[in-house]
Amino acid sequence: MTNQMSEAPPSAARSTASAPSRPDERSDETCIHIRQFNAWYGAFQAIHELNLDIPKAQVTAFIGPSGCGKSTLLRWINRMNDIVPSAHARGTLNLAGADVLADTTDVVNLRRQVGMVFQKPNPFPKTIFDNVAFGPRLHLRLQRGELEELVQWSLQKAAVWDEVKDRLHAPALGLSGGQQQRLCIARAIAVGPDVLLMDEPCSALDPASTLAIEDLIYELREQYTIVMVTHNMQQASRCSDRTAFFFEGRLIESGPTEDVFTKPKEKRTDDYVRGRFG
Amino acid sequence: MNEASATDETQGSRGTVPLASASDLSDNSRRRKLHSRLFYGLCVLISLVSVCVLVVLLVSIGVQGKSRLTQSLLTGAHSELNPESAGMWPAIVGSIGILGVCALAALPLGIGTAVFLEEFKPTNRWLRSLHGFIQLNIANLAGVPSIVYGLLGLSLFVFMFNVFGQIKVNESSGIELMGVERYYQLLTLRGNGHTVLIPQTDLSQPTITVDEPVMGIDPQGRPIQIGVWDPGTPKPSADEERRRTVKRGRVGGVYAKTSWNYFRLPFGRSFLAAGLTLSLVILPIVIIASQESLRSVSPSLREASYGLGATNWQTVRHVSLPAAIPGIMTGSILAMGRAIGEAAPVLVVLGATVAKNTGPQHLMDNVVTMPVLIFNWAGRQQATYQELAAAAIIILLMILLLMNSVAIYLRQRLRVD
């Protein structure tokens, strides 16, 4: 899949020329490599000069007050902001070595590789089966049996199989909010992504469903690189390996979750994680 | 200091409120409740006025037309001599035919335009201004009077700007592409005028004079040798020979044998032209209704689809359109209701002919429509025609009601799923 995106990224030269302003915190292998990243909505600059490495097969949480640019960054990783006409970005955003922002990037393949789960559960008004089969049907020609197998695998992976296996052909909108969100996760992983982006995946759910999703996120990181935006401090501390704190469009601090929460280097991070503002 | 005094003042004025007497307060509340009731009454009255007008209209039409609501109204055709037996069958078929053409033309165009405007918003600056230009024009086109569309249809579809030659209305001219065979028709010697046909080779010759034996066909389509008989000599004795023998110098006129797919450019005063003209009338309505219902599809569904790597088209095909289809269908059926009731553009395109015994026989056929027939009947002196017009209005209203009920049913039915 990465082959299709391995053309020499035009902005690679820029990124190597300028040294990262922050010491590199790479733990293992870097999956997403962001350097001097700027993003705008029209004239409004949402992200300023951001440098960040997101490691592979770990959960990275983006925290920060509303409007700090964390969702914007998330939506640039799979070029979701392409739908917003006024949105544009400059800088380096490499995913497994391929330049995401390049004009030549095939967004269809990019989004196959980078799945997304949204704030509000948004299943299609179709059956549970058709929801999960939607992505595979877009990209592949599968036999009925293979498709059924894939749907089952995805639903099992998303820990929702036991609840829906008897009503696969019932409308997805009949599920509870938490089940719908897990269905959306199943739908995302059915396409076979390497990265999962989650934009406040639990903010519209009750505590019990939230817990189920958090457990799921914890499970999924074995196989997927997960980037999660959250407003919930406890959630970030519970289920993420690394945390990045954003404030007013800038990355203030990033590091292992434990460090960010217990001994932050910046005062603003400290204030935020202690709930003094935001 | 200033702030402090200001707060003092506000507190002071607030302090006056409890001083207002209890009776004042209740008076005020009584007055406000009275106003509310008065306004409620006014609203009821206003809506009653419009309902009354409708009821008066329906009752007067019903009273006038009920004596003519017979089977012959539905099955018969217009009659100049015998209004008692006149009916509107050709007009019903004609209206439905025109509506079919109209739907086939307007729905794909309208829904396609709506999809372009809503789902394929261009990022390129020039395309974006084109986009805005189209959007602005559609809003304006919805307000253009339908007679103007009639005139447009007349030059665009009926005459096609005379690109295919000067067209004389009701005459076969222009470029004929298919579905028509032209012959000269002659009467043979056999008693009651047996007809034979000679294929017309030179279309510019409106007649043929038979001076010598030629090949032709008989009414059953079999090729025959047409013989010539000289006046003064004895006629052929055998009946078979008489059937295919014509008098020398006999003049044959043009006869066109058309099948349903007769197609020519320009369209002339045909139901195809009328249907296309009506499709122009309802196109803006279809576009706006489709746009509205596409716009009401939750953006989160679209995001979900794009997020899974769907292309623009896949998102439209599998997500946006299925979700918008109830609204699109409702809007389209309501637009069809508008089209079936239109008289002005049809009058301009087809003329005011009502003397027709059948519905359309081929694509280039002229037809009568219900509104045109009603217009014609209502303008006549005889009381019978007045009653017929009222009865025809009842039928038209019933068809419209039926269409609207289908629209409501579809909306309810598809929305639940």
Q: Which pLDDT does position B9 carry in this prediction?
A: 46
Asked if B300's CB is within 8 angstroms of A115's CB, the reply is no
CA distances from A60 to A93, A251, A254, A277 (A): 16, 14, 10, 22
d(CA B230, CA B211): 9
Residue A7 has pLDDT above 50, yes or no: no
Sign (positive or negative) of CA dihedral A53, A58, A63, A67: positive
The amino acid that residue B368 corresponds to is V
Instruction: Give the range with max mean pLDDT: A22-36, B167-181, B333-347.
Output: B333-347
| Tokens 């507190």 belong to residue | B11
**pTM: predicted TM-score of the whole model, two decimal places:** 0.81
Residue A209, token pair as written in the block: 């469903």
- B123: chain A residues, CB-CB within 8 Å: 85
Residue B213, token pair as written in the block: 């034996």
Q: How many residues does chain A have?
A: 278
Instruction: Give the range with max mean pLDDT: A96-105, A197-206, B188-197, B272-281.
Output: B272-281
Residues A168-190 have a mean pLDDT of: 94
Residues A178-206 have a mean pLDDT of: 93
Q: What percent of chain A has pLDDT over 70?
A: 90
Residues B346-353 have a mean pLDDT of: 90
Asked if A188's CB is within 8 angstroms of B308's CB, the reply is yes
Q: How confident is the model at residue B416 (pLDDT cuts 50, 70, 90)?
A: low
Asked if B308's CB is within 8 angstroms of A122's CB, the reply is no
Residue A11 has pLDDT above 50, yes or no: no
* Per-residue pLDDT tens over the stretch B74-114: 999 998 888 888 999 999 999 999 999 999 999 999 999 99
Asked if B308's CB is within 8 angstroms of A187's CB, the reply is yes
- Tell which of A4, A77, A83 to mutate to test the B interface (max B CBs under 10 Å): A83
Residue B318 has pLDDT above 90, yes or no: yes
- Report, in angstroms and rounded to the nearest whole number, the Rg of chain B calculated over CA atoms: 33
* Per-residue pLDDT tens over the stretch B107-151: 999 999 999 999 988 878 888 898 899 999 998 998 899 999 999
Residue B414, token pair as written in the block: 């598809």
Asked if A138's CB is within 8 angstroms of B309's CB, the reply is yes
Crossing angle for the helix pair B271-295 and B146-153, to the nearest 10 degrees: 130
> Using an 8 Å Cβ cutoff, are A39 and A88 in contact?
yes
Q: Which pLDDT does position A230 carry in this prediction?
A: 92
| Tokens 């372009």 belong to residue | B116
Residue A127, token pair as written in the block: 């059956």
Among B182, B206, B322, B329, smallest CA distance to B256 is for B182
* Per-residue pLDDT tens over the stretch B30-79: 889 999 999 999 999 999 999 999 999 999 999 999 898 989 899 999 98
Neighbours of A192 (CB within 10 A): 16
Q: Which pLDDT does position B240 carry in this prediction?
A: 82
* Terminal CA-CA length for chain B: 66
Neighbours of B261 (CB within 10 A): 12
ipTM of the complex: 0.85
Q: Which pLDDT does position A169 carry in this prediction?
A: 94
Residues B199-215 have a mean pLDDT of: 81
d(CA B133, CA B128): 9
Residue A83, token pair as written in the block: 């739908």
- Tell which of B300, B308, B318, B319 to mutate to test the A interface (max A CBs under 10 Å): B308
A84 contact B CB<8A:
no
* Beta-strand relationship, A30-41 and A87-95: antiparallel
d(CA B252, CA B240): 21
Which residues make Cβ contacts (< 8 Å) with residue B186, sequence separation at least 6? B195, B196, B197, B198, B208, B210, B216, B226, B246, B250, B252
The amino acid that residue B125 corresponds to is R
- B298: chain A residues, CB-CB within 8 Å: 122
Residue A16 has pLDDT above 50, yes or no: no
The chain B residue lying nearest A138, using CA atoms, is B310
Query: Would residue B233 be called left, alpha or beta, if left means φ above 0 and alpha means ψ between -120 and 50 degrees?
Result: beta
C-alpha distance from B312 to closest chain A C-alpha (Å):
10
d(CA B329, CA B413): 12
Residue A274, token pair as written in the block: 């202690």
Backbone angles phi and psi of B359, in degrees to 5: -75, -170
Residue B22 has pLDDT above 90, yes or no: no
> Using an 8 Å Cβ cutoff, are A38 and A49 in contact?
yes
Residues A201-223 have a mean pLDDT of: 89
